[in-house]
């Protein structure tokens, strides 16, 4: 197995220390940081996502794998400086809407988007519509994701979309919605650009929206 395959494997198996040492070894072999991420860390995380969707992995496995990946990414950060944007497929901004603090699903989404090569901006939980709009206008993501896990906070997805309209910048961003009670019907009703039931579908949908599928 090549060092990158081993690195991917250590992410899949959630071996944090091994992910760190393999990342170091890959650097020592003078593999460039972007390749280490793409063919090592992110490749591993994609497999983790697949296993999660297939019901083979559960939350603990996914979180420990994600931690392994992020430890590796941390080591690579100094080597990525400067060309951060040139290598991303797009920027994904995500937050859980106002009134809602569920973030486990959102955090899994973040890992998968990072794994797929997106730059991710995490606005956290309980995010009011104005904050989504302000952050989007300032940081210009390609896609804004609105997460809601409660039927009581789903209407806030609609309000957030309305806030983009009011600020006359709705057409500058693709808006995706998701979370347990959300459905395609709901997404259509509130005129979101896309809905996905899980993190893997979400990444596919995002690529489709950006025309890079």
Partner 1 sequence: MVKQMTSRERVQTALNHQEPDRVPLGMWMTLGAYKNFREYLGLTVKDQYPPGSTTWSMDVHVEPDVIEKLGLDVIRIGSSTPDGQGFKINENGFYVDEWSVPRKKVEYEGGYYMEDVNPPLKDATIADLEDYPWPDPTADGCWNGLEQKAKRLFTETDKALLAQFGRGGIYEQAKYLRGHEQILMDMILEPEFVHALFAKLCQVEMKFNEMGIKLIGKYLTQVRMSPEDLGNQDNLQISPKTFREMIKPYYTKSFGLASKLLKEQNPHAKLQFHSCGAIYAIVPDLIECGMEVSDPMQPIAKGVEPARLKQEFGDRLSWWGGIDVQRTLPLGTPEQVAAEVRTRIKEAAPGGGYILSSSHRCQPDIPSQNITTMYEAAKEYGQYPIKL
122 binds partner 1 (CB under 8 A): no
Phi, psi values for residue 115, rounded to 5°: -60, -35
The answer for residues whose C-beta is within 8 angstroms of residue 138's C-beta and 6 or more apart is: none
Q: Which positions from 8 through 37 interact with partner 1, judged by CB under 8 A?
A: 14
Could you tell me the two tokens for 164?
């983009």
The least CB distance from residue 13 to ligand B12, in Å, is: 20
Q: Which is nearer to ligand B12, 3 or 48 (CB)?
A: 48
Query: Is residue 12 a contact partner of residue 81, using CB atoms and an 8 Å limit?
Result: no
Query: Is residue 202 a contact partner of residue 53, using CB atoms and an 8 Å limit?
Result: no
Q: Could you say which of 152, 166, 184, 191 contacts partner 1 (CB under 8 A)?
A: 152
Q: Which stretch binds partner 1 (CB under 8 A): 28-36, 59-67, 87-95, 201-209?
A: 59-67
The least CB distance from residue 127 to partner 1, in Å, is: 11
The least CB distance from residue 135 to ligand B12, in Å, is: 15
Phi, psi values for residue 178, rounded to 5°: -170, 180
The number of residues in the chain equals 213
The least CB distance from residue 175 to ligand B12, in Å, is: 8
Helix (H) / strand (E) containing 165: helix 154-166
Q: Which is nearer to partner 1, 126 or 208 (CB)?
A: 126
The answer for residues whose C-beta is within 8 angstroms of residue 211's C-beta and 6 or more apart is: none
Q: Which stretch binds partner 1 (CB under 8 A): 22-30, 60-68, 84-92, 110-118?
A: 60-68
150 binds partner 1 (CB under 8 A): yes
**By the criterion CB under 6 A, which residues form the site for ligand B12?**
99-106, 108-109, 145-147, 149-151, 176-181, 196, 198-199, 202
Q: Compute the distance between CA of residue 105 and CA of residue 124 in angstroms, rounded to an integer.
A: 12
Q: Which stretch binds partner 1 (CB under 8 A): 70-78, 138-146, 147-155, 163-171?
A: 147-155
- Relative to beta strand 174-178, strand 194-195 is parallel
Query: Is residue 15 a contact partner of residue 41, using CB atoms and an 8 Å limit?
Result: no
Which of partner 1, ligand B12, none interacts with 178 (beta carbon under 5 to 8 A by kind)?
A: ligand B12
């Amino acid at each position: 197995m090549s060092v990158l395959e081993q690195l991917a494997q250590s992410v899949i198996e959630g071996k944090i220390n091994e992910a760190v040492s393999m990342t170091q070894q890959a650097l020592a072999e003078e593999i460039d940081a972007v390749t280490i991420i793409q063919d090592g860390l992110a490749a591993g995380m994609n497999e983790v996502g697949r296993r999660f969707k297939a019901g083979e992995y559960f939350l603990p496995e996914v979180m420990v794998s994600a931690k392994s990946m992020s430890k590796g990414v941390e080591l690579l950060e100094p080597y990525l400086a400067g060309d951060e944007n040139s290598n991303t497929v797009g920027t994904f901004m995500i937050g859980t809407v106002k009134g809602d603090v569920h973030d486990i699903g959102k955090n899994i989404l973040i890992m998968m988007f990072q794994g797929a090569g997106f730059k991710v901006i995490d606005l956290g939980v309980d995010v009011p519509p104005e904050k989504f709009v302000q952050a989007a206008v300032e940081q210009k993501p390609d896609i804004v994701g609105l997460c809601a896990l409660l039927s009581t906070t789903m209407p806030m997805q609609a309000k957030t979309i309305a806030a983009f309209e009011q600020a006359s910048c709705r057409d500058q961003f693709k808006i995706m919605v998701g979370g347990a009670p959300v459905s395609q019907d709901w997404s259509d009703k509130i005129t979101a650009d896309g809905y996905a039931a899980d993190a893997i579908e979400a990444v596919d949908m995002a690529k489709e929206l950006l025309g890079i599928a």
